[in-house]
Amino acid sequence: MNHAHPETQKLGLGALTALVIGSMVGGGIFSLPQNMAASADVGAVLIGWTITGVGMLTLALVFQTLSVRKPDLDGGIYAYAQAGFGDYMGFSSAWGYWICAWLGNVGYFVLLFSTLGFFFPVFGEGNTGIAIVCASLLLWCVHALVLQGIKEAAIVNQITTVAKFLPLVLFIAICLSAFRLDIFTADIWGRANPKLGSVTQQVRSMMLVTVWVFVGIEGATIFSARAGHRRHIGQATVTGFFTVLLVLLLVNVLSMGILTQRELAGLQNPSMAGVLERVVGHWGVLLICTGLVISLTGAMLSWMLLCAEILFSAALGRTMPAFLRKENAKHVPANALWLTNAMVQGFLIITLFSRGTYLSLVYLSTSMILVPYFWSVSFALLLAIRGECYERATARDRQKDMAIAAISLGYALWLLYAGGIKYLLLSALLYAPGAIFYAKARREAGKQVFKATEKLIFAAVMAAAIAAAVGLYNGVLKL
């Protein structure tokens, strides 16, 4: 379904690209050296990035193709899942994506004030009382900014996206000059550290980390209804992907030529600060922490926009309750924004009492994006196999799109495997309650809640959720 917005609220190529880059480059890149070294050494890291680079490139190309082949579909991963596999799968993709997004924002707020704790000890690790109070104030200030208009918020996001790249570029330039090949090649396969396991185990362990730093690649498709030109959606997605991939690779690989795997794994996050401190001294910590504060502020804004838009799109498609369709005078989905930030506020308070559980949920949020990605690439493959929307395309174009979608689907399945059964079961605990929203939306539309096939899918989700609950209670599963 296509829903139009006034020309004054349309987003250009620059704004869409900034949304893609801004949502991907948040806090993850600043902790990347330690996060990757904790799971793998140089050889496995290079293999993992090769797999990730190919997989995420095909995913970016799939989103580009779908924006062209299905220009009538707005809402990105929600609309693709709904069009290909029905209302309930569309809703589930929107629900899973929404949870992933606002949980990520909780992470950004805590990491932001943890970083400020370097300078102001009262903030501790980002979960002290004063830190949560300040995070809450910032949350509602950003909320007020977004309520002033999507385009206005997108302009601010463009500014922060440019600003956050300055310290990253400086880090890369300094580390390039200090890079030592002997450190980089000292133990390529991690044999000196048996805890890392085999190369295959190392590659598998780092997969969720690479997914986390790329979540947001679909940002332009989520805002397809607000794009000034449809072609800008695919252009923003591919441009954002290559830009972020290059920066991520350089930050990760160059760090492994500054410190050994064991030294990197032992760094406090944001670990980029520790790497730069080794080269230039304490001012390197100040530079990275300043960059992280700017980056997190921009990323929080991007994800707040994405959270509200995905709920709004699903509500327009009648798979979310009608109250989420409400826009204010500035054409901002106000109720969706209020619900999103109420959840963020609630979980910020929870971090006061259970920081360990919160950190586990941040990793869990990464696994929740895998199902929406899976349905999107499956839809693209289905279109190519059927030849739907390819009436004016050549056989070669169709075969190319089919091959790209097939590779992307294989990557999505690999990620589900790499994440493990534990996270699939725990994800079900968060997917299952969404049925309450879905049932309300269906009743408002005067439709049957579940079709026959959807009943089976929901039963499977409930069975997995119950299994996860029992596993948590018995201690078999741990957050």
Under 8 Å between Cβ of 154 and 19: yes
> What's the domain range around 253?
7-420
Residue 172: closest CA among 250, 268, 88: 250
Quick one: residue 101, left, alpha or beta (phi over 0 = left, psi -120 to 50 = alpha)? Answer: alpha
Distance between alpha carbon 81 and the CA centroid of its chain, in Å? Answer: 18
3-state secondary structure of 11: strand
- To the nearest 5 percent, what fractions of the chain are helix, strand and coil? 75, 0, 25
Flag residues of the chain having pLDDT under 50. 2, 4, 6-8, 357-358
Predicted confidence (pLDDT) per residue in 14-23, tens digit: 778 877 887 7
pLDDT given at position 357: 47
- Tokens 């959720």, residue located: 465
Query: Peptide bond preceding 321: is omega within 30 degrees of 0, i.e. cis?
Result: no
Q: Is residue 451 part of a domain?
A: no
Neighbours of 174 (CB within 10 A): 18
Q: Is residue 352 part of a domain?
A: yes
Q: Is residue 37 part of a domain?
A: yes
Q: Is residue 143 part of a domain?
A: yes
pLDDT given at position 8: 45
Burial of 472: CB neighbours in 10 Å, binned 0-12, 13-18, 19+ = middle
Q: Is residue 185 part of a domain?
A: yes
Q: Is residue 479 part of a domain?
A: no
pLDDT given at position 332: 85
pLDDT given at position 307: 87
Domain count, the chain: 1
pLDDT given at position 95: 94
Please give the torsion angle defined by the CA atoms of residues 179, 163, 308 and 81, in that order, rounded to the nearest 10 degrees: -40
pLDDT given at position 361: 59
- For residue 413, give both structure tokens: 């399945």
pLDDT given at position 219: 72
Predicted confidence (pLDDT) per residue in 213-253, tens digit: 888 787 777 776 677 787 788 888 888 889 989 999 999 99
Q: Is residue 467 part of a domain?
A: no
Q: Is residue 471 part of a domain?
A: no
Report the C-alpha gap between 226 and 363 in whole angstroms: 31
Under 8 Å between Cβ of 107 and 137: no
pLDDT given at position 252: 95
Q: What are phi and psi of 115, to 5 degrees?
A: -65, -45
CATH number at residue 327: 1.20.1740.10
pTM of the model: 0.84
